[in-house]
Every structure is written in structure tokens, then in C-alpha cells.
Structure 1
Amino acid sequence: MTLRPGAIDIHAHWLPEDMFGLPPGSPVPPLNGRDGEIYLGDLPLYIETTAMTDATRVIADTDAAGLGVRVISAPPFAFPVADDPGVDAYVGAFNDELATACSDSDGRLLGLGLVSLHDPDAARRQMQAIASSGVVRGIAVPPLLNGTSFDVAPMRDLLRIATELDLAVLVHPMQLPRPEWSSYYLVNLVGNPVETTTAAASLVLGGVLEELPGLRICMLHGGGCAPSLVGRWQHGWNKRADVRSAETRSPREGFRGLWFDTLSHDGPALELLRAHADPSHLMCGSDYPFDMGLPNPLDLPHDAGITDDVLEHNARSFLGLEGEGHV
């Protein structure tokens, strides 16, 4: 399949309607469609049902945004975070439907699949199937699992397998509730960036990037709060033995090993990210079709002087497509 040229949106969501029941053991209620919009239980998500479920609609919106390709992955409430025996079947069904949607997209869609987060052996089998698909280029995972992140098992094991199989890893926050974030949508406005920042710290300070130099892992929403904390991490690393306990390179160096989308919602925030990140690790992200997403995700990087050619090249590198016009 020949990919359509142009900027690649690395951060977009898709879920077929037959999987609205969500994974077994899900901590949130199932999805349902009412009057053309999606609800999480009785909570309106302000998303048109077809924007989440219909690949033809996704492609039309991709064209309208001036993008060449969209990379679709499950919305975070569809992550299989419960250790339930039914998860493997759910993951397999989603990945199969994802591969079909991408294969039938005439070079407009690529995918990032799901894995059984609690079971590295099952995850290995799932990632081997993903790697053989051609159109599903990696996996999407949450930043936290049962209060832990990527510096410890089982999440660290998943990264080892992904690196071994040359798969990209996309990290999407789950909007975990906390009492102090119960108002004003703070569970998203504050919680999502904090979750992402915690994951970034686990990678930079936990020795993961040193152990897995080939790992391609992307922090979304412009890296959350992490760009503003790199100097603080560096100071702590200089002064405290516990911060250096994993024997990592300095946080300033380690941060450049991470990948990011440009969905910062703010030009100065994107400039701060650019000051700390490897410029070849910045990619377009839209968060399509969520309300916190951008219908014109290229505006931010364009305003910062990042061209479509750079965005396309960087995303191809992240997805393991360097020098390829097809998958």
C-alpha cells in the first residue's frame, strides 16, 4: 500500500461501534451512541459517533485538515487496564479490525494496536501479529498501570518487546480521577499532563532509555508538564543520589531520547518543548476527534516554523518507515 504524501498526524482515535462495550473489567461504563453522539455511560463526550467509528469519515476529516496520513489508535477508555481473562480476545478483535480499516484506507490510515498490559507473554504474541500486519506500526498504552509506570514490570517488559520487534509506542493518558480534580474538567486539564509527565520521568530517570536505546516512545499533548520540569530534574539529578540511582545519563540528555507530538495548545509551550527535545522527534498530533483536539493540527507547528516535510519525515522515522513510500 502506497502512503499518501504529506504531514502525518500521529495522535488520533478510532473505535469500531461493535467494541463500545469496552474491555472486560473496564473501570468505566460502556459507550453508547445517542442521536449521533457518543456517551460514556450517561456522560456526553461531545463526539459525533461517525468521527470515532467510521473510517470513511476519518479520512474525509483527514483531508479537510490538510494531512496526508492519520495514525489511529484506541481512545484511552478502551485500554485493557484490568487483569481479566477476557482481555486477550478483546485486544485481538480490536487489532484485527484496526488492521482491516488501515488496509482498506488507500494509504490514508495507519494504526497503533492494543496489547494485554498485564501479561507480557500474551503481549508478545499480539505484538508479533502487529509487526506482521504492515499497516499497524506499533502499540498505544497508558502512562500508568496500577500506580506504576515504565521503569518497572509489567510496563517495562512491554517496552522491551516493542523494541525487539521494532514497534513504535504511543503513550496516552487515561484521565484518572482524583478528588481535587473533580471540578472544571481538571481531571483532563491538569490530570492528563501530570500522567504524561510521570511517565516521562520514569523513562528518563528509570534507566529505560539506557537499557533500550532503540526504543521509539512518544509522549502526547506536547509532553504534558515535562518540558517545564527538565531543569528541575537536572538539578535533582546533580544533587541527589536517589535521583541518580538508576545510573542514567543526565535528564537533559535523556529527555532528547523521547518523542513528542506538537499538541501543546500554546505557541510558547511548543517553543519550550523545542528547546529541550530532539527536533527530529517532534510530530504532528491532533487528538482527533476529542473536544480537546484541534481540527487544524498543523497550525501550531507551522506557526513555529516546522514544515510538513519535517513532520512527515519525523513521523516516518517514529513509525519505522524511513525511506519507504509504502507499507
Structure 2
Amino acid sequence: MTTETPTERPGEWWPELAPVVRPTTATKPAYRTVDVHTHLSVPAAGALAAPHLRPEYEPRIRYSSAETLAYNREYRASARQTGQFEDADVRLADMDRQGIDVQVLSVPPTEYFYWLDEDEALAACRLQHDRFAEVVAAHPTRFTAVANLPMRHPRLAVEVLREARRDHGFHGFELSADVVGLDLDDPRYDVVWEAAVELGMTAIMHPQGFTHGERFTDYYLVNVMCMPLASTLAVTRMILGGVWRRHPELAMVVVHGGGYLPFYSARTDHAYAVRPELRRHIDRPPSEYLRRLYFDTNVFDPAMVRQLVDRFGADHVLLGTDYPFDMGTVDPLGFLERVELTEHERRLVLGGNAVRLLGIPG
């Protein structure tokens, strides 16, 4: 049985819970700071996709409680949040408060629209990319962007990836942790990984939710637990399915600190040592493939950032906030100032790694 806060309750208390971007508590460094994990909504693409909505393929809708759905509508409808999600000038003001020099723009995960047929999917992606390119062209020193791909149609996804690189100069693409329930270790996606390596495009994994979320509807667990859980499952399947054995140069940033796997991969390594099922597609412990990945800092605990640096190296950790969602890090420089980092490590995490992985011009 689901326990709800009545939706007829006065809504004024909801916006008060949302975090507000205020001037950073940290001293901004002299070098460039880059936020690798931000979202820009493109209403034109949403309007195109809306008549074709397949809610059964949208876990954030299917497994959200009535309270969560009502809150999300209020949150996105407020004038302040609409500006943050869509308006470059609003974003620039927030970036200046945060001490962020460059944002990497990607679509909100609710705007992957993977359920669209090929023609509509292509049109939606092009609208998103054109809008991103417009914002980047207007503010070339403050924004860069990554593509959205029609992943349910892998061959078309490759065409869109090439187009995004050729026509807009994008150096990366965002993707969910599954494609309408299909796992990313499926061999049909090898053409996407091959093209990404060929083009030098970095993948950014950002889940849309969890496809089997029946037990996660209450308490906003569809986001709180399911986001990192979806990444953990997706990355584990990709490793065990041999994706990085077949495509060792595939670069991928996994947001939300990589989910749970970076903090509990020893169990998977143990299973690899004692169980034949894990040895079908790989020839070394899973954690060795995990070390090839990159992780953002949106984990809310400074000790966890330090653990990521200790485990994978400062060159594999990138500043990320999830701006402008309320599950993001509002003061990223202040947060990272609480992490014990050397100046060299700090320079890599705050921007150096993003510049290298996403081809951000000097």
C-alpha cells in the first residue's frame, strides 16, 4: 500500500524545499572549472515527441508515486526552474555564482525519447542538437554540448553520432542505462561503440530510472536508489558482456559517482574467481575493466570523492552537479574544497579531465 501526502495540500511548501544557487563558499581557482553533468531542456523536441509518448517505457513516470509526480510538475512549472532548464542567461548567472566556467549541456534523461520511431527520433535529436549548437555558438567559452542518440535504432544512432560530430563539433554523447528495457551489453550496440571510438566521442551514462521499479515508488526511491542502481547494473552487464574487451578504447563517464559498483566491486571480482558464468566474455577480473571508466563527483559525501580518486586516480574523476535538478550539488566548488586533494588532483577533477575527454577548446 502506498502512503501519499494529499496532492490537494497547499503547494507553497514545495518550492521552498528546492535548493537555491548562491555564491560559492570556495575560492574560485585561476584555472577553468568545468561541470560535466548538466541538463538543458529543448521544448520543441518535447512537443514533437509528446503525441507519441509511451509511458510504459518511462520508468520515472511508471514507478513514481502520485506525490512524486505532483511535486515534479510543480518543480518544473515554477518560473525559476523553467528558466534554469531552458534559458542560457539564467544558467550563466548561476554558473557565475557557482564559480563554474564551462557547462557541458546534455538533455534531461526524460528527453531521450527512445520510444520514438525512426523518423520522429531523428527529428527530435536534430532539434535538440540545433538548440545546443545555438547556445554554444552564442557563448562559446561558457558552454559545450554532447549529443542525444536514437538508441533504439542503433544504425540510425551511428548516423546521428557522425552528424553531431561533423556538423556541430560535439565530442560526446549521453545515453541511458538501458534502452526501453534492453541492456547495453546487447551486441546490436557494438556499432555505436565502434563509431564512438572511431570519432573520439566520450559517452556519458545517465540513467532514466530503473525498468523494474515496483518496489521503489514510495519516498522518491525511483530516483534516490534507482539512478545509481541502474548505472550499477548497466556497467556490470557491459563489463561482463565483454563490451570493453571488444572496445577497449571506449571512454565513458558514469554520473552519480558511477552508482554503487565503484564502492562494492570486490564482490563481483570474487564471483569472477569462483563462478563460470562471469567468464564467458572477459579474461580478467571485472574491476580491471571498471578502472577504464570515469566518474563524476555528484555523490554528496567528500569521503566518497576521495575514495574514487584513491581507487581510480584523479584523472578519472570529473566535477559534475546534475544542474538544475534538485538532486544535484548546488555549490560544487565548496563541496570539493572539503575533499582532501593535492593541487594537481584538484586541477584535474575541477576541469582538466573534462577538457581532455570532451575536446573543450582552450
Query: Which structure carries more relative contact order (alpha carbon 8 Å, separation 6+)?
Result: 2
Shift of 1:83: 4.5
CA offset digits 1:145-165 (Å, max 9, x no partner): 233322114434322221111
Which is worse superposed, 190-199 or 268-277?
A: 268-277
| Secondary structure, aligned partner of 1:10 | strand
Q: Distance in 1 between matches of 2:206 and 2:228?
A: 10
CA 1:90–1:198 in 2, change beyond 3 Å: closer, same or farther? same
Shift of 1:18: 2.6
| Secondary structure, aligned partner of 1:175 | coil
8 Å contact from structure 2 (residues 147, 172) kept in 1: yes
CA 1:125–1:44 in 2, change beyond 3 Å: closer, same or farther? same
Number of aligned residues: 312
Pairing of 1:1-327 with structure 2 (within 5 A): 6-21=32-47, 23=49, 25-28=52-55, 43-44=72-73, 46-47=75-76, 48-85=81-118, 86-133=120-167, 135-176=169-210, 178-306=213-341, 308-311=346-349, 312-321=351-360, 324-325=361-362
Q: Distance in 1 between matches of 2:220 and 2:105?
A: 25
8 Å contact from structure 2 (residues 216, 222) kept in 1: yes
Which is worse superposed, 80-89 or 8-17?
A: 80-89
Counterpart residue type for residue 313 of structure 1: G
Q: Distance in 1 between matches of 2:228 and 2:40?
A: 22
Shift of 1:305: 3.1
Q: Distance in 1 between matches of 2:253 and 2:92?
A: 23
More helix by share: 2
- TM-score with structure 2 setting the length: 0.80
8 Å contact from structure 2 (residues 272, 278) kept in 1: yes
Structure number with bigger Rg:
2
Unaligned runs of 5+ residues in structure 2 are: 1-29, 59-67
Q: Distance in 2 between matches of 1:13 and 1:45?
A: 18
8 Å contact from structure 2 (residues 146, 173) kept in 1: yes
CA 1:288–1:21 in 2, change beyond 3 Å: closer, same or farther? same
Q: Distance in 1 between matches of 2:231 and 2:256?
A: 8
| Secondary structure, aligned partner of 2:267 | helix
Q: Distance in 2 between matches of 1:284 and 1:252?
A: 22
Q: Distance in 1 between matches of 2:327 and 2:292?
A: 27
Counterpart residue type for residue 132 of structure 1: R
CA 1:79–1:300 in 2, change beyond 3 Å: closer, same or farther? same
Q: Distance in 2 between matches of 1:44 and 1:271?
A: 36
8 Å contact from structure 2 (residues 298, 320) kept in 1: yes
CA offset digits 1:23-68 (Å, max 9, x no partner): 36333499xxxxxxxx978842624101000111112211111111
| Secondary structure, aligned partner of 1:170 | strand
CA 1:187–1:42 in 2, change beyond 3 Å: closer, same or farther? closer
CA 1:231–1:220 in 2, change beyond 3 Å: closer, same or farther? same
CA offset digits 1:205-236 (Å, max 9, x no partner): 22111221221111100111112221111101
| Secondary structure, aligned partner of 1:179 | coil
CA offset digits 1:260-281 (Å, max 9, x no partner): 1011111233233333323211
Provide the residue aligned with 1:34 in structure 2.
Answer: none
Unaligned runs of 5+ residues in structure 1 are: 31-38
Q: Distance in 1 between matches of 2:71 and 2:123?
A: 26
Shift of 1:199: 1.5
| Secondary structure, aligned partner of 1:184 | helix
Q: Distance in 1 between matches of 2:263 and 2:48?
A: 35
More strand by share: 1
